């Protein structure tokens, strides 16, 4: 709607956007519209890996762009990671890997004999915005830690997305403040323990000396 209004305003002013700009704007609108379809990506991820339809669908240019769109990210990802069914949770981790890669082509992973589907290359600012939206999902980090299979936790923790989120979280002001107070509390406990142990030892020595006399 905003794009149509902008086009009409330009027409009234006698100015027209370049054809390339119009085409790019239309493509972005299409991608964001498709990406906003509820649970679309979840449905595509849950397709059987052996089904040739899955490879064909993820090979489509529009789908690769939808994969890398921030409009695709939603609470459905957390629900997949929290799922009791390990296959569903595994597909959620697959999506984290997809978001972490800069490849434009699907790739076969030799260790698992599975295909890792690719999105599209993003500019640093666009990738940072995508990662930021994932980090703001409710209970996202808790869902990662709650994965039942240790191998999936390990796989998720190695993704660029998780490293980026953890670097941001650990470097934030509240986290640093909490770490400082935890360290101060730990030092106080150690000092208190040493003082208590010293008094106990000294008291025991004095009692022994008094008993011998």
Check residue 5 and give its pLDDT.
Answer: 44
Cβ atoms of 104 and 124 within 8 Å: the answer is no
Check residue 51 and give its pLDDT.
Answer: 86
How many C-beta neighbours within 10 Å does residue 28 have? 13
Check residue 110 and give its pLDDT.
Answer: 46
Mean pLDDT of each 10-residue bin along the chain, 213 residues long = 48 51 68 88 90 87 87 93 93 90 55 58 83 91 90 90 81 57 74 77 60 55
CA 188 to chain centre: 36
Render 42-108 in DSSP notation, one character per residue.
HHHHTS-TT-HHHHHHHTSHHHHHHHT-GGG-SHHHHHHHT-SSHHHHHHHHHHHHHHH---SS-EE
How many C-beta neighbours within 10 Å does residue 67 have? 21
Distances (CA, A) of 104 to 23, 36, 67, 116: 21, 22, 11, 11
The token pair at 4 is 């149509």
Check residue 90 and give its pLDDT.
Answer: 92
How many C-beta neighbours within 10 Å does residue 27 have? 13
Question: What predicted TM-score, i.e. pTM, was given to this entire model?
Answer: 0.64
Cβ atoms of 100 and 45 within 8 Å: the answer is no
Check residue 126 and give its pLDDT.
Answer: 85
**Neighbouring residues of 168: CB distance < 8 A, sequence distance ≥ 6:** 135
């Amino acid at each position: 709607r905003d794009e149509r209004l902008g086009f009409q305003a330009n027409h009234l002013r006698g100015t027209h956007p370049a054809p390339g700009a119009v085409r790019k704007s239309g493509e972005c609108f299409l991608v964001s519209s498709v990406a906003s379809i509820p649970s679309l990506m979840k449905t595509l991820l849950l397709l059987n890996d052996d089904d040739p339809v899955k490879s064909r669908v993820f090979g489509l240019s529009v789908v690769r762009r939808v994969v890398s769109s921030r409009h695709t990210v939603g609470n459905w990802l957390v629900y997949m990671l929290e799922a009791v069914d390990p296959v569903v949770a595994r597909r959620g981790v697959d999506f984290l890997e997809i978001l972490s890669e800069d490849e434009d082509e699907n790739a076969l992973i030799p260790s698992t004999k599975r295909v890792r589907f690719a999105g599209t290359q993003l500019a640093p600012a666009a990738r940072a915005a995508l990662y930021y939206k994932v980090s703001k999902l409710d209970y996202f980090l808790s869902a990662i830690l709650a994965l039942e299979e240790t191998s999936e936790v390990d796989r998720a923790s190695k993704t660029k997305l998780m490293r980026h989120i953890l670097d941001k979280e650990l470097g934030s002001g509240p986290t640093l403040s909490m770490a400082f107070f935890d360290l101060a509390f730990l030092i106080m406990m150690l000092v208190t323990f040493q003082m208590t142990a010293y008094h106990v030892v000294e008291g025991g020595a004095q009692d022994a000396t008094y008993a011998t006399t």
